[in-house]
Amino acid sequence: MYWVCENCGETVQQDKQPDECWLCGCEMVEADECDGCGEVTFTGRLFGGYCEDCLRESINELTAERYLSERGFLVQFLCNYAWDVADISGGNERFKALCLNEFVNNYRTYHNQVEQFIMDDDGDDGKADYGKWYAKYRSQSRARREKENADG
């Protein structure tokens, strides 16, 4: 188990919670390793096992499109950020397909807003939602790769 000092950020690995940080004497609380970069940080600052930096870096055309589509946020994103119109997320399938097309074709234009929409607009709840999705996405890609290797 990992522990991190609330004051200075020092980390230690041991089974039992340390009485105090050996450097500054402050309390040490539960910490964990980020599944992406391996950095040890407060357990509460990991989302789906990933730190905020890793999650921000993971947002690209592919993951953003998958995440927003699968979680049903794509229409809402375009309405809020690109078109500045009221939420019409009840739109039909044809409209959703048009939105997807718009998003994929103009991803570069939207990249910064996408990160804000996913990581900042809903605070830690948004980060947790994306982190959970991303962890699942990663494990699925891994499983697919392993199967391909086994088959090939």
The amino acid occupying position 137 is Y
Question: Can you tell me which of 1, 13, 17, 24 binds Zn ion, judged by CB under 5 A?
Answer: 24
Q: Is residue 51 within the footprint of Zn ion (CB under 5 A)?
A: yes
Cα dist from 80 to 15, 84, 98, 110, whole Å:
47, 5, 16, 12
Closest contact distance (angstroms) between CB of 3 and Zn ion is 10
Question: Can you tell me which of 1, 23, 62, 97 binds Zn ion, judged by CB under 5 A?
Answer: 23
Closest contact distance (angstroms) between CB of 4 and Zn ion is 9
Nearer to Zn ion, 8 or 97 (CB): 8
Give the C-alpha separation, 22 to 42, whole Å: 17
Q: Is residue 40 within the footprint of Zn ion (CB under 5 A)?
A: no
DSSP 64-99: HHHHHHHTT-HHHHIIIIIS-----TT--HHHHHHH
Question: Can you tell me which of 21, 40, 99, 135 binds Zn ion, judged by CB under 5 A?
Answer: 21
Question: Can you tell me which of 4, 31, 34, 114 binds Zn ion, judged by CB under 5 A?
Answer: 34
Number of chain positions touching Zn ion (CB under 5 A)? 13
Give the C-alpha separation, 98 to 91, whole Å: 11
